[in-house]
């Protein structure tokens, strides 16, 4: 990463590179406490996962940010990364119920408005998902 920073602006960044144990190391000044941001992310993750378990979701053993539950005979899946979440189920009423639960659970905590986007195209984690062809999905 520091090679890129040096390439972008060598006059500024070169002054902060030092040789340490035979390796070039870039030292930076943090404007915010990185450990605090990491800890808040971990605490959010733990709380959200417990909240999902309380309504019947089970964590996915292969991806810690995926949870599933069976509702009305079909699997419902929630994927998330920090505050970006995608919920899917064959029955749109199940998704409506999950959205209502999110609004009650989190908007009441003054976290802010829970926003939902519906339709055949979604932006999730910077990936455009296109479900406009039945039975297929396209990543744009």
pLDDT per residue as tens digits for the range 65-114: 999 999 999 999 999 887 788 899 999 999 999 999 998 888 765 556 77
- Residue 19 domain boundaries: 1-31
Q: Is residue 93 part of a domain?
A: yes
> What is the predicted pLDDT for the residue at 2?
66
Residues 3 and 66 in one domain: no
Residue that has been written with the tokens 């144990």 in this structure? 21
Q: Is residue 6 part of a domain?
A: yes
> What is the predicted pLDDT for the residue at 56?
97
Give this prediction's pTM: 0.66
> What is the predicted pLDDT for the residue at 34?
60
- Report CA 94 to chain centroid distance, whole Å: 21
For 19-41, give the secondary structure using H, E and C: EECCEEEECCCCCCCHHHHHHHH
> What is the predicted pLDDT for the residue at 122?
83
Domain count, the chain: 2
> Residues 15-68: pLDDT tens digits?
777 888 888 787 777 666 565 666 777 888 899 999 999 999 999 999 999 999
Residues 46 and 65 in one domain: yes
> What is the predicted pLDDT for the residue at 52?
96
Residues 74 and 22 in one domain: no
Largest pairwise CA distance in the chain: 62
Q: Where are the beta strands (DSSP E) in the chain?
A: 17-20, 23-26, 58-59, 66-71, 74-81, 84-88, 121-124, 127-130, 138-139
């Amino acid at each position: 990463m520091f090679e890129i920073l040096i390439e972008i602006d060598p006059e500024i960044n070169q002054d902060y590179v030092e040789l340490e144990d035979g390796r070039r190391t870039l030292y930076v000044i943090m404007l915010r406490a990185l450990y605090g941001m990491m800890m808040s992310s971990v605490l959010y993750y733990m709380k959200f996962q417990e909240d999902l378990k309380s309504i019947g979701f089970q964590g996915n053993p292969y991806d810690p940010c995926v949870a599933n539950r069976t509702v009305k005979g079909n699997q419902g899946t929630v994927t998330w990364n920090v505050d970006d979440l995608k919920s899917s189920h064959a029955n749109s009423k199940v998704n409506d119920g999950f959205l209502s639960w999110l609004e009650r659970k989190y908007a009441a905590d003054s976290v802010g408005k829970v926003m939902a986007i519906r339709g055949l195209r979604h932006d999730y984690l910077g990936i455009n998902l296109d479900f406009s062809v039945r039975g297929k999905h396209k990543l744009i």
